[in-house]
Amino acid sequence: MAKVLISSIGEGRPQSDGSYSYESATYFLVDGDQEHQVETRLIISALKELYSIDKTILIGTSGSDWASLYAHLFIGDDNNLSNSTEYSDEYYAKLTSAFNSSKQNPPTLIPIEQMQSDLLPLKEAIGEFCDSIWVMHYGTNQDELNENFLIMNEVAKRLEDGDEVYFDISHSFRSLPLYELLAVNLAKQINGKKLEIEAITYGMFTSNNMFGGRTPIIDLSQLVNITDWMKAVEEFNRFGTTHLLAELLSDDSLGLTISKEERKALVRLGNMATLIKADEFRSLVKNCVNIAKREKDLDNTQIVLGHIFKTISDTFGDLLADDAQLFSELSKWHFIYKRYIESVITLDECLFDFFAQLIGVNRNKKSWEWNRDELPFRYKVYNADSDNSNVKSFLLDFKRLNEIRNHLTHGGSVDYNVRDLSYFTSGMIGSVENQLSTYTKHFSTLIKNFRSNDLDLSELKTAILEAPDSRYADY
């Protein structure tokens, strides 16, 4: 594990004679109640000392002022970047020529492959402190941005698990280092490395008159925190879960005011993909409703969390008094996020609970056992039939739903002899998806209709009670 500085090299400040150079500055960093400062021409030297950096990765373009960096290594009063080679006027002139050619009208840029090779002596001059130097495009079009990403992916490969990464954007074009930061953040995900971006530093040289001639070093690492929170919100929007959000709350980088109730609700929301127990889900929805009402006016919480609590509250909050409606809606929720197995199981169990409540069966009692109680009850439902067309249609739809359930959960195994399975699946998941999409909306309406029609509800109850509890012939 090492502290690695990724720093961009720019072109310095223009001088009265038309040249460019990095001017000496007194950089200072405030750490809690402590203040540290270093006087130097190049912020890399200050960061090396202030953060105890172990090694650096330098990034720039063919038009960066590499010559000034080379000259900086040999300034007598600055030994933070102690050189390991003898100074070469010829090499300095070569780098200066490359830089000056980029300032011509029109500019002449050395190809990045050649510039990469030309900078090898500079890396050698810096010594072991320099891990590598990378030359990038200016990123003026999509092709250059794509190539830059590939380069940054190679940069990310230089980093090791556990490395603490420091980005500095002081001496380069502002857009390029921000792109580098986002590219490394993505590349570390792709390469599966555990990297901590400790700081994104910016030396506010142009504001030194506000600080007695000194230059403050500002930490912009909040940018990374915000991208993490954006990913957490995206997870909820795309998958309906809050796993990443719960992880981020353990290290609250945005200063959110989170109560124990909120934290518990968010952790449980992370399990929405598998949470189908009625009492737990009902309790979760109640918590979200209460939080959404209580904290709708708290700005810092509303920005990040209000969207999530409000969505759960708006989707499920009005259904708490009716488990059948609540879990029909949960089935739709799973379906929207393409969790088809969870969707069909949730809807299937929701209907079994509806039938159990109708005939006075308590499926939650401790003595309720599968072979003795649950299986005969299920067989009654499967065997039920009626001359009432509404009841008959409802029961037929329920059996068709179970055929989809068995196909999804058992892979259409022939051992289950699912009746007319090919009709519902046509050998393709797309057909199951279409059927399930219909049923997740259909049964919610059916339950409402039956509850508002005493005759149909009574005949449905009779059909189930009078059905045999022996094995269902087609199951």
What pLDDT, in 10s, does the model give residues 350-366?
Answer: 889 889 989 998 887 77
Region of 80 (left: φ > 0; alpha: ψ -120 to 50; beta: rest) is alpha
State the angle between helix axes of 222-239 and 307-316 in degrees (0 to 180), rounded to the nearest 10: 10
Global model pTM greater than 0.75: no
Question: How are strands ordered across the β-sheet holding 215-219?
Answer: 34-40, 25-31, 215-219, 196-203, 164-168, 3-8, 55-60, 130-135
* Burial (CB count within 10 angstroms: exposed 0-12, middle 13-18, buried 19+), residue 86: exposed
- Kindly report the average pLDDT of the chain as a whole number: 80
394 in Cβ contact with 401 (< 8 Å): no
366 in Cβ contact with 358 (< 8 Å): no
Q: Is the pLDDT of residue 252 over 70?
A: no
For the chain, what percent of residues have pLDDT higher than 70?
A: 81
| Least confident piece of the model among 7-11, 278-282, 353-357, 398-402 | 278-282
Q: CATH 3.40.50: which residues of the chain?
A: 3-220
Spatial neighbors of 212 by CB under 8 A, at least 6 apart, are: none
Q: Tell me: domain 3-220, CATH 3.40.50, correct?
A: yes
Q: What is the DSSP letter of 18?
A: S
Task: Please write the tens of the pLDDT for every residue from 212-251.
Answer: 788 888 888 777 777 777 888 888 888 888 777 777 776 6
226 in Cβ contact with 245 (< 8 Å): no
β-bridge mates for residue 219, sequence order = 201
Task: Please write the tens of the pLDDT for every residue from 307-324.
Answer: 788 888 899 999 888 888
Angle at the Cα of 342 from the Cα atoms of 337 and 346, rounded to 5 degrees: 115
Residue 180: per-residue pLDDT: 66
Most confident of 81-85, 282-286, 373-377: 373-377
State the angle between helix axes of 260-269 and 307-316 in degrees (0 to 180), rounded to the nearest 10: 70
d(CA 273, CA 370): 25
Pairing type for strands 55-60 and 34-40 reads unpaired
Residue 132: per-residue pLDDT: 94
Pairing type for strands 34-40 and 25-31 reads antiparallel
